[in-house]
Amino acid sequence: MAVVVAAPGMASAKDTAGAIPTRRLPKEELVNTHKTHLQKQDNSPNAPRPVKQPAMSGAYPASIKSIRDLEIIPLSELRAETHHRGKGIIVKAASPPFVGAGAVSIVEDEFGNADKLAIYNQADSSILSGVPEGCVVAVKEPYYKNNGAANDFMICVDHPSDVILLRFTDPIIPEPLRLGPLLKTADDWKNAADRAFIEKDFPTAVFCYTEALEASEDAAFKAPIHTKRAGVNLILGRYDSAKADAMASRSGGPQDWKAYYNAGRAAYGLCNYTESNTLLTTALDLNPTNTNIQKEHARCQARLREEETGDYDFPAMLASLSPHSVHLDRGSFLRNTRIAASAHHGRGLFATRDLRAGDVVFVEKATLMPNQYEPARASAALYALMVRQLCDNPSLAGAVLGLYGGAEYTERRSGGEGTTVDGVSVVDVFLVEGIRTKNCFSAPRSTLEDTRPSLPEGRLAKGLWVHASHMNHSCVANTMRSFLGDVLISRATRDIKEGEEIFQQYVPVQTLVDLRNKQFKDGWGFECGCALCVGEKRSPEAMLAKRKELLAAVEKLCNKKLPGRELIPDAKIRSVDRLAKQLEDAHEQDVYEGLPRLTLVYPCNWLVAAHRGRKNHGKVVKYCLKVLRNFGFKVPDETEVWDPREIYTNSGNATLMTVHVVAAIRTLAEAYEALGHKEMAERCIEAAEFGYTLVTGFKNDLATLDR
């Protein structure tokens, strides 16, 4: 079959959707244009590679068919804007790749037809991230896309598992594309692999070691190659393959310590510490004096201790953080919680024992979190890492693809995602993106550094914590999360009974019930059924409108800011006070009994700051107590002896914990001190320190709030 060339003057892309384009560019023209692009290619090794994040509106499923079950068609039969279901193409790269967000190559089929092939979302660890000239690939159920300009089409591969790198000897390659084996013997391939390894071209090294293994039947030759390939896979972070290679390298003798050692390191890389421990213990039995095994074994035991006890040296973890080091080598302590069906939605997290306010609920190391805190890049970086890891370590699929991916994707899943077809794990990038948006958390490098009300850093990475992702949202949540690098710490904000569902706030809760529920609906597709939202929805629209109006009046008067130490005129304080009283009256007693009154938080905080500036300590006490009340807490009684923790344990089940609660209790302490109520001041400091532990994840100096 020849290249289809037709007269110019074709119709627009939309008009031709579904049709075979009447004119396609010939190979020479394609290659020449490609060459000019290649000359402009940025080859600097550290240039950040752009990521093509999928637009969900164009979602289509990944192929779950084997290339051997598809009808192979020539390039000339590709139809514009069409997913060729049940069909596949086999093509050879006729040019070096242009590597940008994807890798674009000129390819040709067995009939001499040429076209452009754009492959996206390949891991850097794969040869397919830039298909070398001469390689033959199969594209399953290809999508043929117009590039905008007339006659300008390309085969666009979004799902990484939709393209397969074929071995040169694969019988599926049609005769005209067949080069035969590039190298003759297994030894040749091994030597080529060793050379690629020395040149640090690790994907090529893996490819050549694979060819060497395929070319030999000699077990004695193959064992050391498996060891080498295990080593390269460890470098590439392909732990599943590294483990399989390491185990395949065993010969049954005492030298097998190396196989168990490598397999143990691979299992460690997958955070599977129990398996890693078993493998490293076997390695140590075979070679008890080897210091490397001893070191890895001790490290693994430390992770298992963390998983078992939940004992962490949080200050040391904080001290070890730096801009280059945010991935902490720690195990996850999850045994206080379990995943089970929730009355609110799907699955949720539940307490496996009684927990006291302040207790660690769980500590989880991120399943995946790129060290990328630039707001414009954080989401794309997480998406790219998720895709890469699912390709490189298919065993992750069980945990990651099991997460909720949004209502539309629940229906659209083919069920084949994560299964192995044609030797690769099926990765559907649209499902990955759906899972990312519904489950990722934003994480500061350290919550302690980020919670200073005066100076939040605002630079947040995005990450995936699979266990934490099973938590449903509540505005009046019974836990709080904080971060130390990629470690998430969840603490109880009040007492939790065994079997109780554990909730967290997905995002800082907005003041107005209608706005925050719009946010939940738009972002996560649910209506919040927490005590606060259900309660507030009982209040008539007219009352909500009145509260909005009054809050807007306070915000306008005060510029939405809090006073510093400057002297605020009495008249202004009186005006805000009057509005705050009206606002308080706009909260119906029967609706708000025992519930936070969030619209009152800002006016009361403003009055605290204004009276503090005037050293009017009695008024500071009054309004600090109101701030606590308005977050749903019972206020401490001056006439009684009270335990500082009671603020958290005796306030019912609808408290809303934030750093502002801590700040209010600390200001309360300062005012009591000034008024000579020493005991009240001391108790308040203790209560504030306790609250600060909930907020930052571990005990910290309250003075950090001012820095």
Kindly tell me which of 177 and 507 has the beta carbon lying closer to ligand SAM.
507
Among 98, 189, 383, 524, binds ligand SAM (CB under 6 A): 524
Closer Cβ to ligand SAM, 111 or 526, answer by number: 526
Total residues in contact with ligand SAM, by rule CB under 6 A = 19
Nearer to ligand SAM, 295 or 518 (CB): 518
Nearer to ligand SAM among residue 165 and residue 598 (C-beta): 598
Q: What does the per-residue mask of binding to ligand SAM show for 402-441, with x meaning CB under 6 A?
A: --x---------------------------------xx--
Q: Which two tokens stand for residue 254?
A: 């005492």
Nearer to ligand SAM, 5 or 340 (CB): 340
- State both tokens at 496: 């939790």
Q: Which stretch binds ligand SAM (CB under 6 A): 3-11, 71-79, 133-141, 525-533?
A: 525-533
Of the two residues 165 and 334, which places its CB atom closer to ligand SAM in the complex? Answer: 334
For the bound state, the minimum distance from the C-beta of residue 342 to ligand SAM, rounded and expressed in Å, comes to 6
Minimum distance, C-beta of residue 439 to ligand SAM, in the bound complex (Å): 5
How does DSSP classify residue 355? Answer: B
Nearer to ligand SAM, 129 or 439 (CB): 439
The DSSP output letter for 636 is: P
Piece in contact with ligand SAM (CB under 6 A), picked from 193-201, 356-364, 521-529, 657-665 = 521-529
Round to whole Å and give the CA distance between 505 and 666: 24
Residue closer to ligand SAM, measured from CB, 451 or 474: 474
Report, in Å, the least distance between residue 502 CB and ligand SAM. Answer: 11
In the bound complex, what is the minimum distance in angstroms from residue 440's beta carbon to ligand SAM? 9
**Contact assessment for residue 50 and residue 101, using Cβ atoms and an 8 Å cutoff:** yes
Q: Do 493 and 334 contact (CB within 8 A), yes or no? A: no
In the chain, helix, strand, coil percent, each to 5? 45, 15, 40
Of 436, 422, 421, the closest CA to residue 388 belongs to: 436
Residue pair 118/157 in contact by the 8 Å Cβ criterion: yes
- DSSP string for residues in 544-586: HHHHHHHHHHHHHHHTT----SSPPPHHHHHHHHHHHHHHHHT
The binder of ligand SAM chosen from 60, 168, 526, 642 (CB under 6 A) = 526
Q: Based on CB atoms, which residue is closest to ligand SAM, 305 or 344?
A: 344
Q: Please, which residues bridge with residue 502 across strands?
A: 349
CB atoms within 10 A of CB 209: 27
Is the distance from CB of 75 to CB of 92 less than 8 angstroms?
no
User: In angstroms, rounded to a whole number, what is the distance separating the alpha carbons of residues 522 and 510?
Assistant: 14
| Comparison of 268 and 503: residue with beta carbon closer to ligand SAM | 503
Out of 321, 528, 573, 647, the residue judged to bind ligand SAM by CB under 6 A: 528
Tell me whether residue 580 or residue 657 sits nearer to ligand SAM (CB atom).
657
User: Rounded distance, CA 461 to CA 445, Å?
Assistant: 8
Which residues, 6 or more positions from 208, have their beta carbon under 8 angstroms from its beta carbon? 189, 190, 192, 193, 196
The least CB distance from residue 521 to ligand SAM, in Å, is 10
Binding mask 457-476 for ligand SAM (x = CB under 6 A): ------------xx-xxx--
Rg (CA), the chain: 31
Q: How far is the CB of 680 from ligand SAM (least distance, A)?
A: 37
Q: Which amino acid is at 411?
A: E
Nearer to ligand SAM, 153 or 441 (CB): 441
- Residue 364 Cβ vs ligand SAM, minimum distance, rounded to whole Å: 14
User: Is the CB of 411 or the CB of 566 nearer to ligand SAM?
Assistant: 411
Query: Which range touches ligand SAM (CB under 6 A), out of 175-183, 518-526, 575-583, 639-647?
Result: 518-526
Q: Least distance to ligand SAM from the beta carbon of 399, Å?
A: 12
Q: Draw the binding track, 471-510, toward ligand SAM (x: CB under 6 A; -: no contact).
A: -xxx------------------------------------
Q: x/- contact string, 79-98, with ligand SAM (CB under 6 A)?
A: --------------------
Minimal distance in Å, beta carbon 344 to ligand SAM? 4
How far is residue 86's CA from residue 368's CA, in Å, rounded to a whole number?
A: 34
- Examine residue 529 and tell whether it contacts ligand SAM (CB under 6 A): yes
How far apart (Å, rounded) are the C-alpha atoms in residues 54 and 381? Answer: 13
Tell which residue, 101, 137, 94, has the closest CA to residue 121: 101
Shortest spacing between CB 556 and ligand SAM, in angstroms: 33
Residue closest to ligand SAM when measured from CB atoms: 346
Residues 135-164 that bind ligand SAM (CB under 6 A): none
Residues numbered 215-274 forming contacts with ligand SAM, rule: CB under 6 A: none
The closest of 271, 260, 328 to 293, measured between CA atoms, is 260
Measured CA to CA, the distance from residue 118 to residue 213 in angstroms comes to: 30
Q: Which residues contact 512 (CB under 8 A, 6 or more apart)?
A: 544, 547, 548, 551, 598, 599
What does the per-residue mask of binding to ligand SAM show for 284-323, with x meaning CB under 6 A? ----------------------------------------
293 versus 530: smaller Cβ distance to ligand SAM? 530
What lies within 8 Å, CB to CB, of 419 at 6+ separation is 64, 425, 426
- List Cβ neighbours of 557 (8 Å cut-off, separation of 6 or more): 572, 575, 576, 579
DSSP 420: E
CA-CA distance, 438 to 416, in Å (whole number)? Answer: 21
CB of 338 to ligand SAM, least distance (A): 14
Residues 327-366 that bind ligand SAM (CB under 6 A): 342, 344-348
Mask of contacts with ligand SAM, 20-59, x by CB under 6 A? ----------------------------------------
Q: Work out how close the CB of 337 gets to ligand SAM at its nearest, in angstroms, rounded to a whole number.
A: 13
- The DSSP secondary-structure symbol of 402 reads T
Cβ closest to ligand SAM, residue 358 vs residue 529? 529
Letter string b/e over residues 114-141, b meaning 16 or more CB atoms within 10 A of that residue's CB: bbbbbbbbbbebbbbbbbeeebbbbbbb
Shortest Cβ 462–ligand SAM spacing (Å): 14
| Pairing verdict, β 71-72 and 87-93 | parallel
Nearest distance from residue 613's CB to ligand SAM, in Å? 40
Give the H or E element holding residue 661. helix 659-674
Least distance (Å) between residue 524 CB and ligand SAM: 3
**Tokens, residue 660:** 């502002």
Provide, rounded to whole angstroms, the least separation between the CB of residue 346 and ligand SAM. Answer: 2
Measured on CA atoms in the order 384, 386, 387, 391, is the torsion positive or negative? positive
Q: Which is nearer to ligand SAM, 196 or 530 (CB)?
A: 530
Rounded to whole angstroms, the Cα distance separating 162 from 157 reads 7
**Residue bearing tokens 């309660």:** 535
CB of 423 or CB of 525, closer to ligand SAM: 525
Residues 6 or more apart whose CB falls under 8 angstroms from that of 95 comprise 31, 34, 35, 38, 105, 106, 133
Binding residues for ligand SAM, per CB under 6 A? 342, 344-348, 404, 438-439, 469-470, 472-474, 524-526, 528-529
